[in-house]
Amino acid sequence: MLVRLAQLAPVAACILLTVSIAEADTGDARNGKLVYERNCLACHGAQGDGHGEAAEYMSTKPRDYRQGTFKWRSTPSGSLPLDSDLEHTLINGLHGTYMPPWRSLGETSRQDVIAYIKTFAPRFATEKPQDPIVIPPDPGYSAESVARGAAVYDKYNCSQCHGAGGKGDGPSATGLKDDWGNDIVPYDLTKGHVKCGDKSTDIYRVFMAGLSGTPMPTFADSLSTTDAWDLVHFIQSLSPLYAKVTVSGGLATGGQP
Amino acid sequence: MSNENSAMPVVRRSLRLLSGLAMLGITATVASPSALAAYEVITVTNGGTIDGVVTLTGAKPAGVPITVTKNQDYCGATIANPDYVVDASGGLADVLVYLKDIPKGKAAPTEPVLLDNQHCMFVPRVTGAMVGQMIKVSTADPVLHNTHLQDAATNATIFNVAMPFKGFTVTKPLPGNPEMINIKCDAHEWMHAWIKELDHPYYATTDASGHFTLKDVPPGNYTLVAWHETAGEKSAPVVVAAGKATKSAIMLAAK
């Protein structure tokens, strides 16, 4: 009987294991805790509240994980992010902030630390992220699209915060706060690199999904996909990384980088 | 043979335990929403009415007008202080009044709860909403507003939607938790509003004279709660008799 039990034990164990794997995240949060303590704790804090020892010296504050609120998401405004969204930030970092790329961690450690970071926000245990927003293919950068995008920028009052010239100096630029009460400024779109990525799809995502936790809202309910792409191209035209468009139309020099 | 016979029940027991655990898991995830869904809709034929008034007691603070710092050309230079909107007899406007723990009663509202951006202020300032009810946000203003909802308990953003031009409306779901929701417009930092989701439809906001009415209340003993953004919260017992109007007077002290 003991022999039989011993033989059956692995079967029962396998069933248990299958159940727990099916319900668990892909990463191992226990190992993720070690990865977090080694690499993330100094800024994001032992409690995941963004109050690590180094945080007070930073103008852009480290993310407080407890609300499940993230700027870089493929999901709609207010939704939890996908694991792949968090991994995107880990791989690429956030340009212009203290968050560096963590490519060196490797795939497994990244998955593990994501599983651990999610334990700071109880929402991850009870809520599912919404489906990612749909980003149709970029129809292409052109003078005509940039010109139409300038009209979209005007109609949608982007200048309210970002200013008529995109320098982040609109009437509502002052006194803005993030969800935690920290001062926050609208992005200067003429600077070049965009914090959440330089690809056209990154820019599209920012104003269609919004930057949760900041004043930047979603325009997905008011902006058509056609207008959105024109707006992307206009924003690109403000950047020194992109070819300038002359008033009479047509690219002054070169094309899309 | 006997070995096998005695071993098999062990596996069966394990499987039963597993399915039992799975069921527990399912029950646990469903438990919180179903607790909210406990409200039962019935046909209220002999309902009573609660006719009440909320009055501010104590000296009303002076209330410095809001200094408008953005879009002064449209919003004006100042906006009247919204902390306490009181009429000549002390009636306090913008108080959310609702019944606490009412197990059954009239049907849910079929229309979404409305929130308008009106001359750089939210209207209404506070309202109830029944769990499952949508919110319809509109704007009458030719400036960009954003309507940013946050869970008051956790600070988590529920959604933050751009209201880019005059005449734009958008209808969205609310989270479905019986909690207070803070609403702000980041672009105009003085703009605030509140919505409290409830698991029943017995709520009202006091009008300019501090009055409110709750209709079709099944007869019984209830607790009435009054919530005001500045004066805070107060509860009072209320007895509703069949087919009768019950008067209720709630005093909130100025802070």
Q: pLDDT, tens digit, for every residue of B211-253?
A: 999 999 999 999 999 999 999 999 999 999 999 999 999 999 9
Instruction: Using a pLDDT cut of 70, give the percent of chain A over it.
Output: 84
Assess whether A36 and A93 both reside in one domain.
yes
Minimum distance, in Å, between the CA of residue A86 and any CA atom of chain B: 17
Q: What is the CATH number of the domain that holds A197?
A: 1.10.760.10
Gap between the Cα atoms of B210 and B226, Å rounded: 11
Using one digit for the tens of pLDDT, what is the confidence trace for B126-146?
999 999 999 999 999 999 999
Residue B5 near chain A (CB below 8 Å): no
| Interchain pair A67, B156: CB under 8 A | yes
CB within 8 Å of chain B, chain A residues 38-77: 66-69, 76-77
| Interchain pair B189, A155: CB under 8 A | no
| Interchain pair A221, B158: CB under 8 A | no
Residue A218, in any domain of the structure: yes
Q: Which domain holds residue A196?
A: 143-238
Q: Where are the domains of chain B?
A: 1-36, 45-253
pLDDT band at A240 (very low <50, low <70, confident <90, very high): confident
The dihedral formed by the CA atoms of B108, B109, B110 and B115, expressed in degrees to the nearest 10? -140
The dihedral built from the CA positions of residue A147, A151, A157 and A159, taken in this order, carries a sign that is positive
Assess whether A191 and A167 both reside in one domain.
yes
What's the CATH superfamily of B45-253? Cupredoxins -  blue copper proteins (2.60.40.420)
Residue A164 near chain B (CB below 8 Å): no
> Is the predicted pLDDT of residue B202 greater than 70, yes or no?
yes
Structure-block tokens of residue B62: 């002076």
Top-confidence residue, A188 or A24: A188
| Interchain pair A69, B157: CB under 8 A | yes
Residue A234, in any domain of the structure: yes
| Interchain pair A221, B11: CB under 8 A | no
Task: Determine the average pLDDT of the residues in A33-46.
Answer: 97
pLDDT band at B61 (very low <50, low <70, confident <90, very high): confident
pLDDT for position A18: 43
Per-residue CA distances from B153 to A67, A78, B128, B204 (Å): 10, 15, 17, 22
pLDDT for position A26: 81
Assess whether A228 and A199 both reside in one domain.
yes
> Is the predicted pLDDT of residue A14 greater than 80, yes or no?
no
CB within 8 Å of chain B, chain A residues 204-223: 210, 212-219, 221-223
Gap between the Cα atoms of B195 and B229, Å rounded: 11
pLDDT for position B37: 53
Give the lowest-confidence range in A24-28, A153-157, B119-123, B240-244. A24-28
CB within 8 Å of chain B, chain A residues 76-95: 76-78
Assess whether A97 and A148 both reside in one domain.
no
| Interchain pair A67, B157: CB under 8 A | yes
Number of domains in chain A: 2
Give the lowest-confidence range in A19-23, A106-110, B80-84, B247-251. A19-23
